[in-house]
Structure 1
Amino acid sequence: MTQIAVLTPDPADPSYAGQWPGVLERLSQALAKAGVTARPTPWTDHVADAGGLAAFPLILPVVAWGYHRDHERWMAACRTWIEAGLPFANPASVLAWNSDKAYLGRLADKGVPIPATIWSEAVDDAVVTAAFAETGASQLVVKPTVSGGAWRTLRLSPGDALSDPPVGRAMIQPYLPAIETEGETSLLFFGGRFSHAVRKRPVNGDFRIQVQFGGLYEPIEPPAEALVLAERVLAAIDEPLLYARIDMTRDGGHWVLMEAELIEPDFYLAYAPDGGAAFARAVRERLG
């Protein structure tokens, strides 16, 4: 069995303690069938010194949840891993830039459709009021550019008080009603090949589709237009990606990119028809 490293959350952060072990177990089961053993190790153990990872032929950061709460240390770790030339998949340089959603603006500059977005260095009542005036939206979504799992993400109507607003740079978008009706569609790619798709919808009255907020998930065959957009996103990124989760929804009649998750996405292997064999095959190919 070939042993690889899988980065896991900071042990001092209990936020995901009840969730990530199950995700790691699904990953480990899929990998074991391909002759690969996953050895978990907290990403926070390797920030200043990459020596503890040097012996592994491959390092997957796919359970490094919570990095967004300690972004400065995450960026320091990425610099350490880049300088050490470690065999990360996805590359450590990707782990750095993909941790800040400002990358969506760069993809938009390359022609990838995203929701109308206002980028702001900070958020206060005046900024939100101006955003309502500029967009004409009846509701806005405000979130930090460094975020995860709907952390400090707000849905606001005109006149709503800012409660626990984003700190630092933020993005403001009109709320897309399709989130409640059609949901968000995630397309999973391993080794550049499409694997499976999952539709995620919030519970009634909410807008957050994450499982910790009761999000409802189901496997689907993605519409052809969604697959075309996902492949367009990957072409625009043009990096040697082992895995990618491309999240999108409809804005009116058009598909738009919500996020390209390239660091620690849940692959939803429980909904993959092959149980994760495509993921394991991509890992084995990278090792080979």
Structure 2
Amino acid sequence: MTRIAVLTPDPADLSYASQWPGVRDRLAAALAREGIEAVATPWTEHIDDVAGLAGFPLILPMIVWGYHRDHPRWLQACATWAAAGLPLANPAPVLAWNSDKTYLARLAGRGVPIPETIWSAGVTVDTVAAAFTSTGAEQLIVKPTVSGGAWRTLRLSPGQPLDAAPKGSAMIQPYLPTIETAGETSLLFFGGVFSHAVNKRPVGGDFRIQVQFGGLYAPVADPPAAAMALAKQVLAAIDEPLLYARIDMVPDADGNWLLMEAELIEPDMYLDHAPDAGMGFARAVRARL
């Protein structure tokens, strides 16, 4: 059986301790059916010294949850892995740029539709007031450009206190009420081939679709053609050798699909909702090997 490495969270970070082992088990089960053994190892053990990863023919960084709270060391690790030429998939340079959501601006510059976004060096009363004025939105979403799992993400109404606002570089967007009605749809691609789609909706009164906030997930048997077209447009705009990609999108009030994120580092691939239970992913890994 071929042994590959799967990078996991810092053992000192207990934020997702009840969640990530289940994702690891789903990945491992799918890979095992293709004759591949997944060896879990924390990414924080390989920041400066790659000796512990040197013997693996493939390294998957797919469960490095929490890296956004340790971003300088994450970038340091990516640089180390790139310099060592480690066989990461996705590639280390992708892991670096995809960790900062300003990449959305670059994709928008290549024609990919994203929500109206104001990029700010910080969140202040003045920047928020200006955003309400310029967008005409009734509510705004404010989140750090380096984030994950709705970390430090706020939905603001005019005049709302900013005590919990993110520090440092942030993005401000008009709130899309369609997240409550249509939800967010994720399209999963392995080796450039579409695998499956999942729709995620928040519980009543919330806007966060993550499972830790009660998000409701359901498979999408036949994603809309326009959603599929947007996902393929995003992948073409990235144009890098991706082993896996999760393209998250939401329709606006007019039904136009907008890219929310291209998750290329550590996304949950929702293999429990894949019709083949993840065999498409396992075959893509085998092909890469």
Place the TM-score, normalised by the shorter chain, in its bin: over 0.9
String of CA shifts for 1:224-271, please: whole Å, max 9, x gaps: 100000000000000000000000001122000000000000000010
CA distance in 2, matches of 1:50, 1:254: 45
Determine helix, strand or coil for the equivalent of 2:73: helix
Task: Verify: 1:276 aligned to 2:275, yes or no.
Answer: no
State how far apart, in whole Å, the 1-side matches of 2:78 and 2:136 are: 40
Deviations, residues 129-169 of structure 1 (Å, cap 9, x unaligned): 11101100000000000000000000000011113211110
Please give the secondary structure, in 2, of the residue aligned with 1:69.
helix
Match of residue 288 from structure 2: 286
**Where does residue 126 of structure 1 map in the other structure?**
126
Q: Aligned with 1:16: secondary structure?
A: coil
Structure 1 CA distance for aligned equivalents of residues 31 and 167 of structure 2: 39
Matches within 5 A, 1:1-288: 1-220=1-220, 221-252=222-253, 253-287=255-289
CA distance in 1, matches of 2:116, 2:59: 36
Mapped partners of 2:94, 2:73: distance in 1:
16
SS at match of 2:30: helix
For residues 166 and 43 of structure 2, the distance between their equivalents in structure 1, rounded to whole angstroms, comes to: 25
* Distance in 1, Cα, partners of 2:163 & 2:116: 23
* Normalised TM-score (structure 2): 0.99
Distance 1:126 1:152 in 2: 19
Q: Provide the C-alpha distance between the structure 2 equivalents of 1:14 and 1:125, rounded to a whole number of angstroms.
A: 33
Runs of 4+ in structure 1 over 3 Å off = none
The alpha-carbon deviation at position 124 of structure 1 amounts to 1.1
1:148 is aligned with what amino acid? Answer: G
Secondary structure at the counterpart of residue 34 of structure 1 = coil
User: What stretches of structure 2 of length at least 5 have no aligned partner?
Assistant: none
Q: Normalising to structure 1: TM-score of the pair?
A: 0.99
- Write the deviation string for residues 203-230 of structure 1: whole angstroms up to 9, x where unpaired: 0000000000000000012101000000
The residue matched to 1:14 in structure 2 has which SS?
coil
Could you tell me how far apart the structure 2 residues matched to 1:98 and 1:92 are?
10
> 1:115-136 CA distances to partner (integer Å, 9 max, x unpaired)?
0000000111111111101100
Q: Give the aligned residue type for 1:223.
A: P
The one-letter amino acid paired with 2:24 is: L
- Could you tell me how far apart the structure 1 residues matched to 2:192 and 2:143 are? 29
Identity of aligned residues (%): 73
Structure 1 residues without counterparts, runs of 5 or longer: none
- Deviation string, structure 1 residues 95-123 (Cα, Å, up to 9, x no partner): 00000000000000000000000000011
Q: In structure 2, what residue type is equivalent to 1:153?
A: T
State the distance in 1 between where 2:211 and 2:64 align. 17
Alpha-carbon shift at residue 191 of structure 1 (Å): 0.3
| Distance in 2 between residues matched to 1:214 and 1:102, nearest whole Å | 28
Report the Cα distance in structure 1 between the residues aligned to 2:163 and 2:185, rounded to whole angstroms.
Answer: 29
Following the alignment from structure 1 to structure 2, what is the Cα–Cα distance between the partners of residues 50 and 104?
30
Aligned residue type for 1:56 = F
Deviation at 1:202, TM superposition (A): 0.1
The root-mean-square deviation of aligned C-alpha atoms, in Å, is 0.5
Deviation string, structure 1 residues 1-59 (Cα, Å, up to 9, x no partner):
00000000000000010000011000000000000000000000000111111100000
Q: Distance in 1 between matches of 2:168 and 2:223?
A: 36
SS of residue in 1 equivalent to 2:281 = helix
Count of aligned positions:
287
CA distance in 2, matches of 1:115, 1:207: 16
Amino acid in the other structure paired with 1:235:
A
Q: Residue type of the partner of 1:274?
A: D
